[in-house]
Structure 1
Amino acid sequence: MRPVALPANQPADRFYAGGRQIAALRGTATWATHEPEDWVASTTAVFGQDPVGLTVLPDGGTLRDAIEADPVAWLGADHVAAFGSDPALLVKLLDAGQRLPVHAHPDVPFAAAHLGLAHGKTEAWVVLEPARVHLGFTRDVGADELAGWVADQATDAMLGAMHTLDLAAGDAVLVPAGLPHAIGEGALVVELQEPTDLSILLEWDGFAIDGAAAGHLGLGFDVALAAVDRRGWSPEDVARLRGATASDDGDLLPGAAPFFRVERWAGSRALDAGFAVVVVVDGSGTLAAGGAELPVRRGATVVVPASAGPVALDGAELRVVVCRPPAPAT
């Protein structure tokens, strides 16, 4: 099997606006206002809208079906022994044309108990364009207080109780499931996630969505808000969520390993064999594996099957983000 270069896969009519940055990164002329996310090598569908969000391969079939048909070739024997045919990873490009609403994602126990799913939605951001973000509460927030904010759409109160971080291009941040957050306008990030589309909206006023009806995963807010981490996080706690900065290569977020792995590399080098999603964030060159050589440039996205073997990157100016599932336990 060989690596596959993937075109953009941007679900339409999302409830928040995107900008021109995904199009600019990929070098395409067209863009749509409400297509802020590019779901890369996705086997995950938009919540309640299957098959929207699934990656379609050049042969017309979905990546999900291809992996189901031959999981060992795509994911490797060790991965299949640990996780079955589940890639255990979703990668997105996210272009925030406006500040995203304050929201949170359930963790694994909550998703299992209430939705019958194997994954929650811990995520991470590798920042390509600077962003101001809001992340976690600065103090303990009572259940009734949070429910009141949501019912009243008290955005100022919510944001006023959250940490504000100014992220630079190159920064990496882990966002544990449950932690309330909002990505600021102008951000462009490579986003790694557990492979679900589960969001609990704490804010929706001014966005193109009926959050009172659609913001609680069909569970009702009395249940859904129990998934939100209402603890006060100290500045030191939040700082520990930050991993690499722009000057760092290698493993950007070691603390994310139970959920996914993310590396950044510059220049020519070899990558270990294994299922991977490669995002070229700068430069140009070639990516070779499985007897095939692909020309790649800034904005290219490539899915690499495990059976393609080691990957050779060639290009002095290449800079890539390599996204992988969690490593099977040894």
Structure 2
Amino acid sequence: MIERLHSNRPPERFYRGGSRISSFRGEASDAAFEPEDWIGSTTTIFGEQELGLTRLADRTLLRDAVAADPAYWLGTDHAARWDGDVRLLVKLLDAGQRLPVHAHPDDAFAVQHLGHSHGKAEAWYILSGGTVHLGLTRDVGEADLARLVEAQDVDVLLGLLHEVPVTPGNVVLVPPGVLHAIGEGVLLLELQQPEDLSILLEWRDFALDGAAHGHLGLGFELALTAVDRRALPREALGRLVRAAPPSGSAFPPEADAFFRLERVPVDGPVRLDPGFAVLVVTGGPLALSGRPAPSGSTWLVPAGAGPLELDGAGEVLVARPPRA
């Protein structure tokens, strides 16, 4: 059956944020370093055993429930192809300060060097606007990039990236390897491959030891080979950052191999197709299969729940894994 999810906010992250998540959800929290809400998560924070995982109402870990019955949770086609691999992590992220410049490895790098099943492609649906930084404006040599990281020359490093204004309803696709940073004040819904793998090129003004922990335990000489050092042309940037259409598939088509996000306006009865999904109500209140679904609420939907009925006036974002 469908389940309403409460916040799952790992504490004491290295960057500030969280108040916009509290406001969006209508929850009371004044924690200054809880900037991420891991929604319907079967993924742990890098190096942790359970932190980041979602617990169901009966206190069962979602990871364990899916492993016990992948066909019910994920659908028979998905389970036949990928077994209990959900292939999706959904987050709310509140940048209480600008995030550091970083990148994520692709699948091949993650498998070969980290022993993980996935790299980390990600995409964002902007809920509160601001500025994001995405992709290099020019090619950068391997030695030059390494020197900037070692010197923590933040002004030069950030200045190498395209600076892009974003507004609510914009979407941003971040392929693996592409350098990026989220600007202060941005609240977004993030879909990503189910890994917590970040290569940090900047840490000077953050509460972490990036020299020790920014390279995934690989050392920067190897970790930086996962970074795309090629310039991102303006026309390519325009394909990665765009306004989401008012309904239907929200992300650029290139995202479909990793995850899917559907924007569903509701004005009266609407039926959602069956399948595993994480639902985020961005406008409401609504009724979800007869249950009250206020704006800011999040819901976990197993494939075995069948089609869902929405009613009311508002909007829902429907996050799903790639199609099997």
Q: TM-score, normalised by structure 1?
A: 0.96
The match for 1:199 is 198
Counterpart check, 1:250 vs 2:251: no
Counterpart check, 1:33 vs 2:29: no
Q: 3-state SS of the aligned residue for 1:240?
A: helix
Matching of residues 174-189 of structure 1 within 5 Å: 174-189=173-188
* 1:26–1:299 Cα contact (<8 Å) kept: yes
The match for 2:281 is 280
Q: 3-state SS of the aligned residue for 1:13?
A: coil
Residue identity opposite 2:73 in structure 1: W
Residue identity opposite 2:176 in structure 1: A
The match for 1:310 is 307
Counterpart check, 1:210 vs 2:204: no
Q: 3-state SS of the aligned residue for 2:27?
A: coil
Residue identity opposite 1:280 in structure 2: V
Moved more, 75-84 or 33-42: 75-84
Counterpart check, 1:323 vs 2:311: no
Residue identity opposite 1:81 in structure 2: A
* 2:246–2:265 Cα contact (<8 Å) kept: no
Q: 3-state SS of the aligned residue for 2:23?
A: helix
The match for 1:22 is 21
* 1:104–1:181 Cα contact (<8 Å) kept: yes
* 2:107–2:119 Cα contact (<8 Å) kept: yes
The match for 2:223 is 224
The alpha carbon displacement at 1:159 in A equals 1.2
* 1:174–1:243 Cα contact (<8 Å) kept: no
The match for 2:88 is 89
Q: Distance in 2 between matches of 1:72 and 1:33?
A: 39
* 1:250–1:264 Cα contact (<8 Å) kept: yes
Q: Distance in 1 between matches of 2:140 and 2:273?
A: 44
Q: 3-state SS of the aligned residue for 2:143?
A: helix
The match for 2:50 is 51
Counterpart check, 1:61 vs 2:57: no
Q: Distance in 2 between matches of 1:41 and 1:197?
A: 15
The match for 1:126 is 125
Q: 3-state SS of the aligned residue for 1:218?
A: coil
The alpha carbon displacement at 1:31 in A equals 2.8
Residue identity opposite 1:5 in structure 2: R
The match for 2:291 is 294
% same residue: 55
* 2:18–2:36 Cα contact (<8 Å) kept: no
The alpha carbon displacement at 1:30 in A equals 1.7
The alpha carbon displacement at 1:24 in A equals 0.4
Q: Distance in 2 between matches of 1:255 and 1:263?
A: 14
* 2:280–2:316 Cα contact (<8 Å) kept: yes
Residue identity opposite 1:258 in structure 2: A
Q: 3-state SS of the aligned residue for 2:264?
A: strand
Q: Tell me, which stretches of 5 or more residues in structure 2 are unaligned?
A: none
Counterpart check, 1:105 vs 2:104: yes
Q: Distance in 2 between matches of 1:35 and 1:211?
A: 19
The alpha carbon displacement at 1:138 in A equals 0.6
Q: Distance in 2 between matches of 1:306 and 1:82?
A: 15
The alpha carbon displacement at 1:50 in A equals 1.7
The alpha carbon displacement at 1:242 in A equals 2.1
Residue identity opposite 1:327 in structure 2: R
The alpha carbon displacement at 1:117 in A equals 1.3
Q: 3-state SS of the aligned residue for 2:38?
A: strand
Q: Distance in 2 between matches of 1:160 and 1:6?
A: 39
Q: 3-state SS of the aligned residue for 1:15?
A: coil
User: Alpha carbon RMSD of aligned pairs, Å?
Assistant: 0.9
Q: 3-state SS of the aligned residue for 1:315?
A: strand
The alpha carbon displacement at 1:103 in A equals 0.4
The match for 2:144 is 145
Q: Tell me, which stretches of 5 or more residues in structure 1 are unaligned?
A: none
Cα deviation digits, residues 57-87 of structure 1 (max 9, x gap): 1101110000011111000010011111010
The alpha carbon displacement at 1:261 in A equals 0.4
* 1:281–1:298 Cα contact (<8 Å) kept: yes
* 1:243–1:252 Cα contact (<8 Å) kept: no
Q: Distance in 1 between matches of 2:29 and 2:46?
A: 26
Q: 3-state SS of the aligned residue for 1:207?
A: coil
Q: Distance in 2 between matches of 1:272 and 1:244?
A: 24
Q: Distance in 1 between matches of 2:243 and 2:68?
A: 37
Moved more, 262-271 or 118-127: 262-271
Matching of residues 68-79 of structure 1 within 5 Å: 68-79=67-78
